[in-house]
Amino acid sequence: MTTEKRDREMVEEAKSILSGIVSHQKNNTDRLSQFEKQVDELKRAQRLMEESVYRAAPEVGNDDSGLGEFVKKDGSIRWTKEQGYVDTPNGRQPIENKGLLDSESPCSEWHRELMEINTQRNMARLIMREAFTPKMDARLQKHLNRAPRAIKASVEKAMYDGAGVGGDWVPDQFRADLYEEYKTPRVVRSLFSEVPMDRQTLLVPRLDRGGRPYIKGMVTSDNPANYTASTAATSQKTISTSGLACRFVIDDALAEDSAIALIPTLQRQIVSDLASAVEDALINGDSSATHMDDISNWNLRGRWGASGLGGTADHRRAWNGLRKQAFDRMTPDVIGTADASKLLLLMSNLGELNSSQRVMITSPEVVVSQLLGLTETLTVDKFGPAATILTGQIGNIFGMPIVLSRFMGADLNANGKYTGAGATSGMLMVARDSYNIFSRRGVTVEQDKNITAGAINLVCTERITFNTLDPDATVNVAYGIDVTV
């Protein structure tokens, strides 16, 4: 049975990675040498910090004699699971006997390596039009030649993987686990409070400015003057929710025949896709008729594909994200190569909103190339055990958390927008208590089958929007542009 436990080694490894990057940035004359490797290491450190709980993998034993259980009475090897029977006082009972290639717990390192080689070989053969894997075949043969004594005779007796000489009798193993490439975790949404809504539109009364006091006059006659009057400034903010939807169309035969649990896998994926769209819109959204970026050509980090971008239903048109909000409220500051004075100048734009709730959102490239080399930057290994760390936080500077997002691009023009030409990035400093995610309905996943077409429709929807209740002139987010990466 699997167990869940705190993996302190992962935290220590993350600290070591960050320490190495910081040392490189501070001590190397060429800070951008091996830049892509540093970015990858930074992402790895963030993943390690995110995964504070893990499921312990099955332990690998060291007793080769346990391999004998895979040898059948006739001396042949049980390669994959088979149905068997056992005689009991209550009669013969059916049981399932695990095979050498699909056992859940390897008996030894040799057994574990055999399962790994076989999985790699079968995956390679699976994706080939004509299965031909001579190198993997040779590796498998070499490994089988080193079989432990407990099973060696049966292995030598067995005929395996050669057409017409027994290969047809040895089934290939397919691992029913879907591999997914690592992506920087989505954390921006968790920075903001969510406000539930009972209607499509929410009207919020707002007191923009209170009254003005005056000096109290003296009573010098029977008809004294009235106190000087003042008027409070009020207004109203209108919040209207948007809807985001993602749909998969799945062939029902494929769902039935797939080696992996296809529908549950795609259900998890469609929820993940919607979450990615929300984070992208939180940073890059613009609800104007003409989007500030060239989104019809902006396939940010290859996430959205090369076709169908920029239309009226593009998720980046759902609401005004933080970059758009910053452009509307102030002229962005040009950063170039970051230093303490430029960062403090950018922070000063927030004025009195420089509270404990401010946060920096930037790209992994900026953290490596610009921030980790600054002496003012503290990484997680220096926070101390009592520090409060935000989800996804990789460090802080001047007491402000630094959070990464893969949706802060490193392909922006020097003007801070995506134009198709440019290789700079940006950094956002936001008073996160000034912004809210307004939710009319949370994530809903629905499934329906069209029996006349043999198609399964899988749909994921959510009704939310992102906005601030502050007046339009309030600078509650600052944008640093043209950041060198």
In a domain, 377, yes or no: yes
Q: Are residues 476 and 416 in the same domain?
A: yes
Q: Are residues 318 and 370 in the same domain?
A: yes
In a domain, 295, yes or no: yes
Q: Are residues 378 and 447 in the same domain?
A: yes
In a domain, 338, yes or no: yes
Q: Are residues 93 and 160 in the same domain?
A: yes
What's residue 62's pLDDT? 59
Domain final residue, candidates 13, 28, 55 = 55
| Mean pLDDT across 247-254 | 90
The enclosing H or E element of 149 equals helix 149-157
The enclosing H or E element of 118 equals helix 109-126
In a domain, 74, yes or no: yes
- Bridge partner list, 6: 53
Q: Are residues 290 and 344 in the same domain?
A: yes
The enclosing H or E element of 193 equals strand 193-196
DSSP percent split of the chain into helix, strand, coil, nearest 5: 35, 25, 40
In a domain, 181, yes or no: no
The three-state secondary structure class of 159 is coil
pLDDT band at 106 (very low <50, low <70, confident <90, very high): confident
pLDDT of 261 > 60? The answer is yes
Q: Are residues 83 and 50 in the same domain?
A: no
Q: Are residues 79 and 216 in the same domain?
A: no
- The full length of the chain comes to 485
How many domains is the chain partitioned into structurally? Answer: 4
Is the separation of the CB atoms in 317 and 290 below 8 Å? no
pLDDT band at 223 (very low <50, low <70, confident <90, very high): confident
To the nearest 10 degrees (0 to 180), the angle between helices 8-27 and 35-50 is 150
Q: Are residues 332 and 470 in the same domain?
A: yes
Q: Which two tokens stand for residue 353?
A: 């909103």
58: phi then psi, degrees, rounded to nearest 5: -60, 135
**Structural domain for 22, as ranges:** 4-55
Digit-coded pLDDT (tens) for 151-200: 877 777 764 444 444 454 455 555 555 555 556 678 899 899 999 999 88
Q: Are residues 228 and 371 in the same domain?
A: no
In a domain, 176, yes or no: no
What's residue 54's pLDDT? 45
Q: Are residues 43 and 74 in the same domain?
A: no
User: What residues contact 61, with CB distance under 8 A and at least 6 apart?
Assistant: 105, 106, 107, 108
Q: Which residue has the tokens 């009364």?
A: 205
Q: Which two tokens stand for residue 414?
A: 């020097």
Q: Are residues 45 and 83 in the same domain?
A: no
In a domain, 184, yes or no: no
pLDDT band at 274 (very low <50, low <70, confident <90, very high): very high
Q: Are residues 102 and 208 in the same domain?
A: no
Report pTM: 0.67
C-alpha 467/C-alpha 437 separation (Å) is: 7
| Mean pLDDT across 445-463 | 93
3-class DSSP string for 350-418? CHHHCCCCEEEEECHHHHHHHHCCCCCEEEHHHCCCCCCCCCCEEEEECCEEEEECCCCCCCECCCCCC
In a domain, 191, yes or no: no
